[in-house]
C-alpha cells in the first residue's frame, strides 16, 4: 500500500449578524521536517474581538508547537499573553492543535474545546486521551488533553468548535452535543464514503446552522482530516530545450500513472506527435483565456503561461472555485484540489515570440504554484525540468 495522504479541509460560518469569524484556523508546513501543524482556535465572544484573541492564540500555538515547547508551560504563556477584555477583565481562547509528523503519527493538544472525533471503518473510535492540569495563572485548574495515534487507511478525524456541539441550545430541542455530531458524521459517511474532507466539513457546519434554526448562535468551524491513498496528477508544460529529447519528454508523460494535464499549445503538439495521439476538438469557455483542446487519453489541455498565471492567482486566493464557475484555469485548479501528489514536467525551451521572457515566466510560475500547493494545501509536489 502507498503511504497515506492527509486530505485536509475546513469550513466556517460566523455567528448570525456578524461579519468576522470568532474562530480562526491557522496552519504551517515545515518543509525540512515534512511536518504539518494545524490550529483551530475559538476566541471569547464573537466578531472582531473574538477574532483578535483567536488569531493571537493560533499564531502562538503554531510557533510553540513548532519549537516543541512544553505543553503546559506554552498553554499558560498563551493565556497570560492574550489581551484582557476591557469589559470582562479576562482573556480567553480555546485551541485544538494537530501536529502531523513525517513518521505518520498525529499528536493532538486540546484546551477547553470539544475533543476531536475519530471515525474508523465508518464507526466511532475512541481516542486514548491524557490530561494535564494547569497549576498557575488565571487558568489554574483548567485541563489540557493530549493524545498521539497513528492514522490508518480511510480514517477520518474531525475537530470543531462549540458552535457545532452546542448548536440547538435555546430552540427547544436542546444542545446537539459532541456524540450526536459524531453520529451525524457516521451517517454521512455511510451515504457517501468517498466525500472529501472539505465537503463533509461544510456539511457538518450546515447541519449546526439548521439546528439553530438557520441563525447561528455562535461561530461554527470544522477542521476535517481524511487519511487515504494519494491521487496522482501530472501537469506537463513547455517544450524541452533540446528537441532531441522530445520523445523522452513524451515518454515520461505516457508512463505516468495518474491524471494528466497539458498546459501549452506547443507542448500538446509535441505530446500528440510523439505518442500518435489525435486532437478531437477545441472549446472556448468564454473565460478570457485561450480555448481548451481535447486530446485523447488526456484529462485537460490548455494554453500555457496565461492559464498557469490565472491558476496561480486562484490558488493564492485560498478560495476554492465556486460551484457552477468554469474556465480553463478553474478546471486546472479543480484538478489540483482533487489530487494529492502533483508532478510538474517542465520544458525549458524559450518561446520564439517571447525570447528570454517566456522561459523565466514559465519556470518561475511552476515554482510559485508548487510552493503554494505545498504550503497552503498541504499537498506534495515534484518538479522535473527538460
314 burial (CB, 10 Å; 0-12 / 13-18 / 19+) is buried
Phi-psi region of 308 (alpha: psi -120 to 50; beta: other; left: phi over 0): alpha
What is the reported pLDDT for 206? 96
Whether residue 358 is predicted with pLDDT greater than 90 in this model: the reply is no
The C-alpha atoms of residue 30 and residue 100 are separated, in whole angstroms, by: 10
Average pLDDT over residues 232-247: 96
What is the reported pLDDT for 106? 96
Helix, strand, coil percent values for the chain (each to nearest 5): 35, 30, 40
What is the reported pLDDT for 88? 59
The C-alpha atoms of residue 234 and residue 305 are separated, in whole angstroms, by: 16
- Give me the chain's average pLDDT, please: 90
Whether residue 84 is predicted with pLDDT greater than 70 in this model: the reply is no
Bridge partners (DSSP) of residue 124 are 119
Contacts of 15 (CB under 8 A, 6+ apart): 22, 46, 47, 163, 216, 217, 218, 219
What is the reported pLDDT for 377? 87
* Ordered structural domains, the chain, with CATH: 5-228 (3.60.40.10), 232-385 (3.40.50)
- 359 band by pLDDT with thresholds 50, 70 and 90: very low
Lowest mean pLDDT among 154-168, 313-327, 363-377: 313-327
Whether residue 251 is predicted with pLDDT greater than 80 in this model: the reply is yes
More confident residue, 73 or 287: 287
Half-sphere exposure of 372 (CA within 13 A, CB side): 20
Average pLDDT over residues 109-121: 95
Average pLDDT over residues 207-223: 96
Whether residue 40 is predicted with pLDDT greater than 80 in this model: the reply is yes
Quick one: how far is CA 358 from the chain centroid? 31
Residues 174-191 have pLDDT tens digits of: 899 999 999 999 999 999
Whether residue 27 is predicted with pLDDT greater than 70 in this model: the reply is yes
Whether residue 1 is predicted with pLDDT greater than 50 in this model: the reply is no
Whether residue 354 is predicted with pLDDT greater than 60 in this model: the reply is no
Average pLDDT over residues 45-68: 90
The C-alpha atoms of residue 206 and residue 12 are separated, in whole angstroms, by: 9
What is the reported pLDDT for 172? 74
Residues 299-340 have pLDDT tens digits of: 999 999 999 999 999 998 877 676 668 899 999 999 998 899
Nearest to 137 by CA among 69, 95, 91: 91
Average pLDDT over residues 114-137: 89
Average pLDDT over residues 81-85: 66
Burial string for 370-386 (b: 16+ CB within 10 Å, else e) reads bebbbeebbbbbeeeeb
The C-alpha atoms of residue 148 and residue 169 are separated, in whole angstroms, by: 32
What is the reported pLDDT for 350? 76
More confident residue, 211 or 44: 211
What is the reported pLDDT for 4? 87
Lowest mean pLDDT among 88-102, 141-155, 351-365: 351-365
Average pLDDT over residues 65-86: 76
Whether residue 164 is predicted with pLDDT greater than 90 in this model: the reply is yes
The C-alpha atoms of residue 159 and residue 166 are separated, in whole angstroms, by: 14
- The answer to whether the beta carbons of residues 195 and 180 sit under 8 Å apart is no
196 burial (CB, 10 Å; 0-12 / 13-18 / 19+) is middle
- 68 band by pLDDT with thresholds 50, 70 and 90: confident
Beta strands in 86-172 (DSSP E): 93-100, 106-111, 117-120, 123-125, 130-133, 143-149, 156-160
In the numeric block, which cell numbers belong to residue 295?
A: 486530446
Question: Which strand ranges, in their side-by-side order, compose the sheet holding 93-100?
Answer: 23-30, 35-43, 93-100, 106-111, 143-149, 130-133
What is the reported pLDDT for 58? 93
What is the reported pLDDT for 222? 97
Whether residue 357 is predicted with pLDDT greater than 70 in this model: the reply is no
The rounded percent of the chain whose pLDDT value lies above 90 is 67
Q: Which range, 85-94, 102-111, 169-178, 313-322, is most confident?
A: 102-111
Amino acid at each position: 500500500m502507498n503511504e497515506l495522504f492527509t486530505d485536509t479541509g475546513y469550513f466556517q460560518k460566523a455567528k448570525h449578524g456578524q461579519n468576522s469569524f470568532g474562530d480562526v484556523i491557522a496552519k504551517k508546513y515545515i518543509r525540512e521536517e515534512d511536518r504539518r501543524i494545524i490550529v483551530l482556535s475559538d476566541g471569547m465572544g464573537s466578531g472582531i474581538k473574538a477574532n483578535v484573541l483567536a488569531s493571537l492564540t493560533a499564531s502562538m500555538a503554531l510557533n510553540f508547537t513548532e519549537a516543541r515547547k512544553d505543553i503546559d508551560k506554552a498553554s499558560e504563556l498563551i493565556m497570560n499573553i492574550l489581551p484582557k477584555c476591557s469589559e470582562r477583565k479576562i482573556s480567553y481562547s480555546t485551541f485544538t492543535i494537530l501536529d502531523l509528523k513525517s513518521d505518520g503519527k498525529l499528536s493532538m493538544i486540546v484546551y477547553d474545546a470539544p475533543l476531536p472525533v475519530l471515525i474508523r471503518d465508518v464507526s466511532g473510535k475512541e481516542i486514548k486521551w491524557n490530561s494535564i492540569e494547569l497549576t498557575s495563572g488565571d487558568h489554574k485548574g483548567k485541563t489540557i488533553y493530549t493524545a498521539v495515534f497513528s492514522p490508518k487507511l480511510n480514517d477520518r478525524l474531525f475537530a470543531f468548535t462549540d458552535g457545532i456541539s452546542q448548536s440547538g441550545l435555546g430552540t427547544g430541542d436542546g444542545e446537539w452535543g459532541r456524540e450526536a455530531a459524531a453520529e451525524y458524521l457516521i451517517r454521512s459517511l455511510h451515504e457517501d464514503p468517498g466525500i472529501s474532507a472539505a465537503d463533509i466539513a461544510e456539511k457538518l457546519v450546515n447541519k449546526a446552522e439548521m439546528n439553530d434554526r438557520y441563525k447561528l448562535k455562535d461561530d461554527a468551524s470544522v477542521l476535517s482530516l481524511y487519511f487515504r491513498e494519494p491521487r496522482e496528477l501530472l501537469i506537463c508544460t513547455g517544450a524541452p530545450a533540446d528537441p532531441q529529447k522530445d520523445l523522452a519528454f513524451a515518454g515520461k508523460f505516457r508512463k505516468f500513472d495518474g491524471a494528466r494535464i497539458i498546459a501549452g499549445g506547443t507542448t500538446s503538439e509535441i505530446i500528440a506527435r510523439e505518442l500518435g495521439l489525435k486532437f478531437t476538438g477545441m472549446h472556448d469557455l468564454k473565460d478570457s483565456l485561450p480555448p481548451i483542446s481535447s486530446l485523447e487519453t488526456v484529462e485537460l489541455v490548455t494554453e500555457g503561461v496565461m492559464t498557469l498565471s490565472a491558476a496561480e492567482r486562484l490558488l493564492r486566493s485560498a478560495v476554492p472555485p465556486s460551484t457552477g464557475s468554469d474556465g480553463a484555469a478553474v478546471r486546472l485548479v479543480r484538478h489540483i484540489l482533487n489530487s494529492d501528489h502533483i508532478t510538474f514536467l517542465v520544458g525549458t525551451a524559450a518561446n520564439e515570440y517571447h525570447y528570454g521572457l517566456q522561459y523565466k515566466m514559465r519556470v518561475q510560475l511552476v515554482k510559485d504554484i508548487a510552493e503554494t500547493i505545498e504550503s497552503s494545501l498541504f499537498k506534495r509536489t515534484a518538479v522535473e525540468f527538460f
